[in-house]
């Protein structure tokens, strides 16, 4: 049980650290808060809630992974290298794809309330 507690403790510490140090994560969290607020305001269905929360979780998780990958690449390759840059670009692309898909999912869900 103590190991489980420590695992959660370290995970929350990591999340808090990322929130303090990663501006893109803070942007995603702000947008997520806006989306959750809109979902409450419009009273979206349970299915729409599930879809929105999955999208939010995906984007936030990939942003955390991207930050981790960038940190590891910077650690093992402090000098600028083309291959290191490509690795970081690919990790960032994963966030971009998930954010773009989530944006369009949000449009589909919320469009009935705006149009």
pLDDT tens for each residue of 76-97: 988 889 999 999 999 999 999 9
Distance of CA 38 to the CA centre of its chain: 18
**55-91: string of b/e by CB count within 10 Å (b at 16+)?**
bbebbbebbbebbebbeebeeeeeeeeeebeebbeeb
The predicted structure's pLDDT at residue 2: 86
Domains and CATH numbers, the chain: 2-114 (1.10.287.3610)
Q: Which of 10, 6, 26 is nearest to 18 (CA)?
A: 26
Reduce the DSSP state of residue 69 to 3 states and report it: helix
The predicted structure's pLDDT at residue 22: 97
The predicted structure's pLDDT at residue 71: 96
| Gap between the Cα atoms of 11 and 42, Å rounded | 33
pLDDT < 50 stretches in the chain: none
Angle between helices 23-42 and 46-76 (to 10 degrees): 180
The predicted structure's pLDDT at residue 1: 86
| Gap between the Cα atoms of 36 and 40, Å rounded | 6
The predicted structure's pLDDT at residue 37: 98
């Amino acid at each position: 049980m103590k190991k489980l507690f420590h695992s959660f403790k370290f995970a929350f510490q990591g999340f808090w650290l990322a929130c303090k140090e990663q501006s893109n994560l803070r942007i995603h969290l702000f947008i997520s808060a806006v989306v959750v607020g809109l979902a409450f305001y419009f009273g979206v269905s349970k299915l729409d809630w599930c879809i929105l929360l999955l999208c939010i979780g995906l984007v936030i998780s990939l942003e955390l992974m991207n930050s981790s990958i960038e940190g590891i690449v910077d650690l093992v390759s402090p000098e600028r290298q083309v291959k290191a840059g490509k690795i970081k670009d690919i990790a960032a692309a994963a966030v971009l794809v998930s954010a773009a898909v989530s944006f369009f999912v949000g449009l589909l869900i919320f469009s009935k309330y705006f149009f």
